């Protein structure tokens, strides 16, 4: 039997028919032109049909969704999904009714971490910390081979750990979160603020009339742009502190790093590894394997399907 995995982002939805071993048999992607729950459910139904058409003979009876947002345990209720503009949406029930199938909704990072655990860089490791630094910062904890969800289902939100009391406003509505200093969206905002203030001359030259990106930030910092360096070093320092402390707390056997910011700033990943190991206690980092996520964009699809 196969299961359907759904990756629900803010601008698109992807669907895949997935084998029990994590192999993708068929997949499809639908742009989200509207973001009401009804429109998203309809887009998922379309994506499902297209994915199933690529996998003739597959028998799909269950569906797993990885959604960017905070969920209420296994109830299928999405408490907050900032990039969809949702609050308290009974999404799992709506989708199950539309598809006529049982549906499990999990956090997108939980899905990605589970995909890496079952078919990617975390295979064979019972205790895993997974951290993705992309547009936002997400993480998930696997302990004794099981996802740690917490009493309300929102455990592992490393992106919303506070690093500056009453600091920058984060997309979650709270202030001073790690994500507000290190997520791709906020790095771009920090660069724009510096450029608007007439700072970061080397970065300004590289960016021109375009939108700054993390690769340009790293290049400008390395070329000696003091203002770019301040933003870059701050992000590196906060990430290293939070990740290193999590290693001390959880003593994972494997740490999986992924996400667009780490992929596109070529030296940040290596610097972060060195810096976080320097923060973690000697006992907790001894024997720790740090690996790069192996499944790319498919980790969430595969993990959501296998969690269904």
Q: Which residues, 6 or more positions from 140, have their beta carbon under 8 angstroms from its beta carbon?
A: 107, 109, 110, 112, 113, 114, 129, 130, 147, 148, 156
Q: In this complex, which beta carbon is closest to Zn ion, that of residue 93 or of residue 172?
A: 172
Q: In this complex, which beta carbon is closest to Zn ion, that of residue 80 or of residue 172?
A: 172
Binding of Zn ion by 178 (CB under 5 A): no
What are 250's two structure tokens?
């959880």
Q: In this complex, which beta carbon is closest to Zn ion, that of residue 63 or of residue 243?
A: 243
User: Minimum distance between the CB of residue 69 and Zn ion, rounded to whole angstroms?
Assistant: 12
Contacts of 185-192 spanning 24+ positions with Cβ under 8 A:
185/135, 185/136, 187/214, 187/217, 187/231, 187/235, 187/261, 188/212, 188/213, 188/214, 190/231, 191/216, 191/217, 191/228, 191/231
User: Minimum distance between the CB of residue 245 and Zn ion, rounded to whole angstroms?
Assistant: 17
The stretch among 49-57, 73-81, 121-129, 175-183 that binds Zn ion (CB under 5 A) is 175-183
Q: In this complex, which beta carbon is closest to Zn ion, that of residue 10 or of residue 201?
A: 10
Q: Of residues 112, 158, 170, 257, which one binds Zn ion by CB under 5 A?
A: 170
**Among 17, 20, 13, residue whose Cα is nearest residue 4:** 17
Binding of Zn ion by 172 (CB under 5 A): yes
User: For the window 255-294, what string marks contact with Zn ion as x by the rule CB under 5 A?
Assistant: ----------------------------------------
Binding of Zn ion by 187 (CB under 5 A): no
- Per CB under 5 A, contacts with Zn ion among 126-165 are 160
Count the site residues for Zn ion by CB under 5 A.
5
Q: In this complex, which beta carbon is closest to Zn ion, that of residue 180 or of residue 265?
A: 180
Binding site for Zn ion (CB under 5 A): 160, 170, 172, 174, 177
């Amino acid at each position: 039997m196969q299961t359907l995995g759904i990756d629900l982002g803010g601008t698109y939805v992807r669907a895949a028919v997935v084998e029990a071993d994590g192999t993708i048999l068929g997949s499809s992607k639908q742009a989200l032109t509207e973001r009401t729950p009804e429109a998203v459910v309809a887009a998922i139904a379309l994506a499902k049909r297209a994915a199933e058409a690529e996998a003739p003979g597959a028998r799909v009876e269950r569906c797993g969704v990885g959604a960017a947002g905070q969920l209420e345990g296994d109830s299928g209720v999405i408490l907050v999904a900032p990039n969809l503009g949702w609050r308290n949406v009974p999404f799992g029930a709506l989708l199950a009714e539309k598809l006529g199938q049982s549906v499990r909704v999990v956090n997108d990072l939980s899905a990605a971490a589970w995909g890496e655990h079952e078919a990617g860089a975390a295979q064979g490791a019972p205790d895993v910390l997974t951290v993705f630094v992309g547009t936002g910062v997400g993480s998930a904890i696997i302990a004794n081979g099981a996802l740690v969800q917490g009493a309300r289902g929102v455990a592992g939100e490393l992106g919303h750990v506070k690093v500056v009391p009453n600091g920058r406003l984060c997309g979650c509505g709270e202030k001073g979160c790690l994500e507000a200093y290190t997520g791709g969206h906020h790095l771009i905002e920090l660069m724009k603020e510096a450029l608007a203030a007439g700072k970061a001359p080397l970065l300004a030259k590289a960016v021109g009339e375009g939108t700054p990106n993390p690769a340009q930030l790293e290049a400008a910092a390395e070329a000696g742009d003091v203002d770019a360096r301040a933003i870059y070093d701050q992000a590196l320092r906060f990430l290293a502190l939070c990740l290193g402390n999590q290693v001390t707390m959880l003593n994972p056997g494997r740490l999986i790093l992924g996400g667009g910011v780490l992929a596109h700033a070529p030296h940040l990943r290596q610097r972060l590894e060195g810096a976080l190991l320097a923060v973690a206690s000697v006992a907790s980092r001894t024997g720790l394997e740090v690996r790069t996520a192996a499944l790319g964009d498919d980790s969430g699809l595969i993990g959501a399907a296998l969690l269904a």
